[in-house]
Amino acid sequence: MLKAAQDMSSTAGAQLVTELQQIVGHHHVLTEDGATLPYRRGFRFGEGRALAVVMPGSLVEQWRVLQACVKAGVIVIMQAANTGLTGGSTPDGNTYDRDVVIVHSMRMRTIHLIGEGRQVVCLPGATLDQLENMLRPIGREPHSVIGSSCIGASVFGGVSNNSGGALVRRGPAYTDMALFAQVSDKGELQLVNHLGIELGSDPEEILKRAEEGNFPEASINWNAGRGHDDDYARHVRDVNADTPARYNADLRRLHEGAGCAGKLGLFAVRLDTFEAEKDPVVFYIGTNQTDVLEDVRRHILSSFAELPIAGEYLHRDAFNIAEKYGKDTFVIIRMIGTKRLPAMFAMKNAFDRLADRIGFLPKHFSDRFMQFMSHFFPQHLPARMRDYRDRFEHHLMLKVSASGAQEARDFLKSHFATHEGEFFECTPDEGAKAFLHRFAAAGAAVRYRNVHTDTTENIVALDVALRRNDQDWFEVLPKDIDDEIIVKLYYGHFLCHVMHQDYVVRKGYDCMALEHRMLPLLDRRGARYPAEHNFGHLYAAPDDVLAHYRQLDPCNCFNPGIGQATKRRNWVAESVG
């Protein structure tokens, strides 16, 4: 019986692959393990099996692919750039009850400007870097700038996963307006147009018009909904609230495509853009006392007439690791900008996959080579920053608008006249380098691990939202946990109290067990996690978030298992034993 079922499944799978090839072309359906591996393996975490990876080249093709997959009863994992950190856009192992098809959307990179660029309509493959470059000539910016954009992250990834970013006034990526496919509780695929743009009634007509940008002014409803979280600037100012400012499980920011975590088949999202700041000013702050920085944070949020643009924290250890292991990233961005960086990341990953297959090169050879070459690069950090590193444990980079600079300048002078620590006002070049150094810290732990495989086991990376009223924000770990860690990297979006905490674990220790011992410590502090990433397959989603996923996807056919939920059809509980 089992063999007969397997043969039937194999036959149905082959038939589906043939149908997918007819829809998108043979070259855009991958089935061989070596060819599908880059799409089955996560950027930092996760890997599993897949019947096929299919790459539609148009919205109509994506619709037909989804129709075929739903009819065949397979699992669909919607994937854009696959730059996530928690395995949220790749299969998780081989424990699914149905075949898995990955729908990779990066061939569809179209962006339409509407309202003279005040809003955009993005298709599935549009990247943050692409959007940033499109908006720059008209003096506007997307929700996020430099960060995920540098590795080619997609706009859809940010919206689907509640991505936050460094910009204080804008909050998590969010929109009320999306065009998406949804499978009903009867197993029927439906197209839902909530873009606030009239596109017709036939699904393929709607999708063709969305792709072409066929949006006459009369078809656009300018009151259709929010294109960003327009309440966040008020929300983040409440420094006495006993809850975090932003975190992935906040139900107020889960709506259809926003925070869907791949439980829908997204075709388009409509987002606000923002006026670019001219001539911002950066202040660099150093102190050895955490309460000094918290006093700065509370005063700025509660008293400043104008919120800063960004406020980024960096601990001295993260500064040092980033200085050494993020140097090549820093120098490359300074030399060529961010535009070509996604392609360079893609080439690096392709080279590493080739090196793994060849076998005689050491593991992570490209990282080892780049680290070796970085020793020949000249000193890249300003002298004043390095002086502060030597003198101060805690660093804060505060970026403010030109109109808010005097208020910030006056406050910092007054504050540090009576408190431990100092600040300096950066030149434009120093300010750019300070924030770029902070960005380089995000990848420094990975480089450290890849270069020191003989002494490191892996990385535990936590993405933590602290309560807005938490004044004891800096973590102190128990000795038994601290002894298993080589180095701790603390950095984050300080004004929002969102911290990224990377722990390089000593060789021989169980990283998952260590993480499970750390999470209860965060629970006792009232922290929430993840703060701005997908739950993926690393974090257990709370019941109210799982209820949201079930409402979006009652048959559990899109990305099952997310948030450590059941992977079974119709949300049937996993069997035990």
Specify burial of residue 252 (Cβ count, 10 A radius: 0-12, 13-18, 19+): exposed
**pLDDT at residue 238, as a whole number:** 96
Q: Which two tokens stand for residue 4?
A: 């007969």
Looking at the structure of the chain, the number of domains it has is 3
Angstrom distance (rounded) from CA 122 to CA 271: 8
Token pair 């829809």 is at which residue?
A: 23
Task: Quote the DSSP letter at residue 210.
Answer: H
- Whether 252 is in a domain gets the answer yes
Helix (H, G, I), strand (E, B) or coil at 198: coil
Q: Are residues 344 and 477 in the same domain?
A: yes
Predicted confidence (pLDDT) at residue 564 exceeds the cutoff of 60: yes
Q: Are residues 257 and 400 in the same domain?
A: no
Q: Are residues 160 and 50 in the same domain?
A: no
* Average pLDDT rounded to a whole number, residues 54-69: 98
Q: 339-396, pLDDT tens digit by residue?
A: 666 677 767 767 777 776 777 777 778 888 888 888 888 999 999 999 999 999 999 9
Q: What percent of the chain has pLDDT over 90?
A: 71
- Whether 542 is in a domain gets the answer no
Q: Which residue in 165, 390, 402, 421 sits closest to 306, CA to CA? A: 402
| Residue 401 belongs to domain spanning | 281-525
Q: 126-138, pLDDT tens digit by residue?
A: 988 889 889 999 9
Measured CA distances, 364 to 165, 346, 361, 385 (Å): 28, 14, 9, 31
Q: Which residue in 132, 97, 96, 101 sits closest to 117, CA to CA? A: 132
Measured CA distances, 45 to 201, 423, 518, 576 (Å): 41, 39, 19, 25
Q: Are residues 149 and 168 in the same domain?
A: yes
Among 337-346, 394-403, 412-421, the range scoring the smallest mean pLDDT is: 337-346
- Whether 577 is in a domain gets the answer no
Q: 293-348, pLDDT tens digit by residue?
A: 999 999 999 999 999 999 999 999 999 999 999 999 888 888 877 666 667 776 77
Q: Are residues 266 and 393 in the same domain?
A: no
Q: What is this structure's pTM?
A: 0.90
Q: What percent of the chain has pLDDT over 70?
A: 94
- Whether 239 is in a domain gets the answer yes
Task: Quote the DSSP letter at residue 330.
Answer: H
Q: Are residues 126 and 14 in the same domain?
A: no
Q: Which residues are annotated as a binding site?
A: 80-84, 88-89, 147, 154, 164, 261, 266
- Whether 220 is in a domain gets the answer yes
CATH code (residue 385): 3.30.70.610
Q: Are residues 216 and 92 in the same domain?
A: no
Q: 527-551, pLDDT tens digit by residue?
A: 999 998 888 888 889 999 999 999 9
Task: pLDDT band for 163, please (50, 70, 90 cuts).
Answer: confident
Angstrom distance (rounded) from CA 499 to CA 313: 8
Q: Are residues 158 and 63 in the same domain?
A: no
Q: Are residues 415 and 507 in the same domain?
A: yes
Domain boundary among 260, 275, 290: 275
- Whether 117 is in a domain gets the answer yes
Q: Are residues 142 and 287 in the same domain?
A: no
Q: Which residues are annotated as a binding site for FAD?
A: 80-84, 88-89, 147, 154, 164, 261, 266
Mean of per-residue pLDDT scores for the chain = 90
Q: Are residues 134 and 175 in the same domain?
A: yes
Q: 483-507, pLDDT tens digit by residue?
A: 999 999 999 999 999 999 999 999 9
Task: pLDDT band for 51, please (50, 70, 90 cuts).
Answer: very high
| Length of the chain as a residue count | 577
Angstrom distance (rounded) from CA 560 to CA 572: 11
Predicted confidence (pLDDT) at residue 8 exceeds the cutoff of 60: no
Domain boundary among 230, 252, 275: 275
- Whether 16 is in a domain gets the answer yes
End-to-end CA distance of the chain: 22
Task: Quote the DSSP letter at residue 575.
Answer: P
Q: Which amino acid is at 383?
A: A
Among 102-106, 130-134, 181-185, 224-228, the range scoring the smallest mean pLDDT is: 130-134
Strands 310-315 and 394-400: antiparallel
CATH code (residue 271): 3.30.465.10
Q: Which two tokens stand for residue 546?
A: 């799982």
- Whether 539 is in a domain gets the answer no
**pLDDT at residue 363, as a whole number:** 79
Q: Are residues 160 and 245 in the same domain?
A: yes
Spatial contact of 165 and 149, defined as CB atoms under 8 Å apart = no
Measured CA distances, 110 to 126, 181, 226, 275, 369 (Å): 6, 19, 21, 22, 36
CATH code (residue 84): 3.30.43.10
Strands 100-104 and 52-54: parallel
Predicted confidence (pLDDT) at residue 444 exceeds the cutoff of 70: yes
Q: Which two tokens stand for residue 451?
A: 């270069």
Q: Which two tokens stand for residue 266?
A: 């997204």
Q: 76-87, pLDDT tens digit by residue?
A: 999 988 877 777
Spatial contact of 180 and 174, defined as CB atoms under 8 Å apart = no
Give, for 30, the enclosing helix (H) or strand (E).
strand 29-30
**pLDDT at residue 148, as a whole number:** 45
Domain boundary among 275, 303, 334: 275
Q: Which amino acid is at 477?
A: L
At residue 320's C-alpha, the angle toward residues 315 and 325, to 5°, is 125
Structural Rg of the chain based on CA atoms: 24
**pLDDT at residue 291, as a whole number:** 96
